[in-house]
Structure 1
Amino acid sequence: MEAIDARLHELAAAGLGPDLTVLIGFSQGACLLAEHLVRAPRGYRGVVLLTGGYLGPEGEAKSATGTLPGTAVLLSSSVVDEWVPPSRVRETAELLRRMGADVTLRLHDAPEHGVSDEEVVAVRELLAATAVNPAPEPTARPPAPGWSCGQ
């Protein structure tokens, strides 16, 4: 938790406060990040938790004292993951919703403990949707005079 706080302080000192920050974690990183959100909530630009949920014994309900107003959160995990039970992912999604986050929960049946192509697409979509100054659409440029594909 201290490492997360330290990095967030560095980002804030560089002018990148929580409202400009998207946090991403996978597996243990997602679990630590979820726990950090519950213990020290701030209004982040976005959060991605891939195969992770808050820490604690299975079946233990958790509560939070703060809020995550408007924070876009993507939780994605496999229903057959042997490390993170889907019940914990669902509980985390529900808690973050109660905290005011805009939560998208995606459960899939991929057997591997990893990040799927579909999850990469979902992360890209969250990043695009939360971008402060989205990049302009690329425009086609004509080839330079004297150049052709056949040369």
Structure 2
Amino acid sequence: MYTHKKNIITRGKPLEQTKKALVMLHGRGATAESILSLGEHLQTADFTLFAPQATNNSWYPYSFMAPAEKNQPALDTALEVIDETIKHIQGQGVASQNIYLLGFSQGACLASEYATRNAQHFGGLLLFTGGLVGQEVDTSKYQGNFEGTPVFISTGDPDPHVPVSRVEETVKIMEGKGAVVTKKIYKGRPHTILQEELTLANQILSRPTGA
């Protein structure tokens, strides 16, 4: 079993200029560079982009709905990498409401899990085909309050990796912790990101700071 070490690629203007960060988490088998390329389709000109790279190009070895212990220690160390990244950004004077999390597929699952375990007023969560992690969702792990954080979450119906039922459960938990969620379920959509999803994500990214 493997663990992760902090290996982050950054793009865009320096953080001291933008004071806004978008942390981007790639999917299984992908790379930090590949998720950063998604930024070309998003309104990220005023953001500094941070993309951690997973060891073996995978954040954890099994399905996100496998028993949690099967995905250890990879899962916990992946969450630690995100936590270190967020704390690094905050340490440079950036408030949580100016920090955004984005992920696709496995990356969206990881972003969902991290944000809900550490709920606070984030700038936004952009969860392209993902949901909370575990064979059963363990609500005891989820702390804090989202304080109106805007969330976009999606999946296909059916999706080969992320069932609609887990997205629905994730929405319920996030809304219960104060998030304002936009959920999209796309009938027959392949495991990809549609233009409509990018448009909805851009609505969150282009909001006035702290809105």
Percent same amino acid among aligned pairs?
A: 33
Asked if 1:80 corresponds to 2:158, the answer is yes
Trace 1:31-42 onto structure 2 (pairs within 5 A): 31-42=109-120
Aligned to 2:100: 22
Q: Does residue 208 of structure 2 align to residue 127 of structure 1?
A: no
Q: Which amino acid aligns with 2:184?
A: R
Query: C-alpha separation between the residues in 1 aligned to 2:100 and 2:90?
Result: 13
Partner of residue 89, structure 1: 167
Task: Report the AA paired with residue 98 of structure 2.
Answer: L
* C-alpha contact (below 8 Å) 2:156/2:186 kept by paired residues: yes
**8 Å contact from structure 1 (residues 93, 105) kept in 2:** yes
User: Which deviations, in whole Å up to 9, do the C-alpha atoms of 1:69-124 show, x marking residues without a partner?
Assistant: 11111111111111011110111011000000111111112431111111111111
Aligned-partner residue type, residue 46 of structure 1: G
Partner of 2:186: 108
**1:23 match: secondary structure:** strand
| Structure (1 or 2) with the greater strand fraction | 2
Contact 2:97 2:209 in 1 (8 A): no
Moved over 3 A (4+): none
**Structure 1, gaps ≥5 residues long:** 134-151
1:39 is matched by which residue type in structure 2? Answer: R
TM-score for the superposition, normalised by structure 1: 0.80
Structure 2 residue aligned with 1:62, among 138, 144, 148? 138
Amino acid at match of 2:180: D
SS in 2 for 1:124: helix
What's 1:147 paired with? none
TM-score (norm 2): 0.58
Which letter maps to 1:54? Answer: L
**Does the 8 Å contact 2:154/2:184 carry over to 1?**
yes
1:52 aligns with 2:112: no
SS of the residue aligned with 2:116? Answer: helix
- Determine which structure has more spread, i.e. the larger CA radius of gyration: 1
Q: CA RMSD in A?
A: 1.7
Residues matched between the structures, number? 131
Structure 2: which 5+ residue stretches go unaligned? 1-78
Q: Secondary structure at the match of 1:65?
A: coil
CA distance in 2, matches of 1:107, 1:19: 27
State the one-letter code of the partner of 2:181. V
